[in-house]
Amino acid sequence: MPADPRDPAPATVVVKAARPEVLPDAPLNPPVTLASTYVAGGDLEYGRYDNPTWQAFEEALGALEGGRCLTFSSGLAAVATVLDLVGQGNTVVAPRHAYNGVTMQLADLEARGRATGVLVDATDTEAVIAAAEDAAIVWLESPTNPALEVVDLAAVISGAHGAGARVVVDNTFATPLLQRPLDLGADIVVHSATKYLAGHSDVLMGAVVTRDAEVHTALKSRRDLIGAVPGPMEAWLALRGLRTLHLRVERAQANASELVRRLEGHPALAEVRYPGFGGIVSLVLAGGAAAGDQLTRDTVLWVHATSLGGVESTFERRRRWASEPATIPDGLVRLSVGIEDIEDLWADLSEALSRLG
């Protein structure tokens, strides 16, 4: 059966969504609106409340995730705004292995007596659902960062809802091309748009997507009040990056899968962790922390850096950060596989691994 252009595939949505109206001499791309002040009488009013350039990115990502999107100044600003939905003294359940900024924010809320954070093994579905009995929010990642554990999202979301909790899913690693948590019943999806969505290591931005009108209004009100808004240029760059998301994810995933195939059984490695999709791989070095640190010093193409999701391949030993949980092995090196030629990536990585003995 032929494709229906009225119901395009995600690879088409990333290219076509949020374009200006097709008219003679009209630009193909939405412009950057550099404005802090608008003429009174319309919907915009003031630069902290909205911006046409934000709106374009929000329209595109909302179409990809299947909800309404709000942009923020960073992924952590998005996280903090969502956690603001938690009432005084309420509980948030989150993975013990998660984005470091999330667990640090939960620890901060707990230290200030604002909320209680309960960290669980997110792969233990029954344990997560049991913890949700007293929770306002169940926060999920799949795959988890940096352990790359896969969560049974559908089962956990259903169980958490049965316990009366809202469910938030950080979809930064998978992107909406590989999974759409709202379709599985999640209430809120969070992104660090800095990573795969923008994709070129040149933007700090966050995003939240929901289908719940009440939640959207609450988050918008908090963003207006706190002012955690993106710059117009950042939003424009993120939208430009989003246009090639399907190509970048496809190539990064192909590269990651091939690297995993070649790395299996390597004598320098105690373990290769890969969820079976996406561009993130975690290697546990047999030589522990010292071997991990040496690996990140000994490559030419692979860059030692803490972020991920860009076109270039980066890696780091995660336990170099004191805030990383002790259940993450000392020798775990998280790889963000880029879109370079696979043979070049392999030659560089395998040569560095060979020097570990």
Catalytic positions:
48, 99, 170, 195
Strand partners, 335: 281, 315
Q: Give the Cα separation of 107 and 92 in Å (integer).
A: 11
* Cis amide bond preceding 143, omega within 30: yes
Residue 184 near residue 161, CB atoms below 8 Å:
no
Instruction: Give the torsion through C-alpha atoms of 195, 197, 198, 200, to 10 deg.
Output: 60
Report which residue type is found at 294. Answer: Q
Residue 255 near residue 339, CB atoms below 8 Å:
yes
- The distance from CA 324 to its chain's CA centroid, rounded to whole angstroms, is 18
Task: Give the angle 101-105-107 at the CA atoms, nearest 5°.
Answer: 120
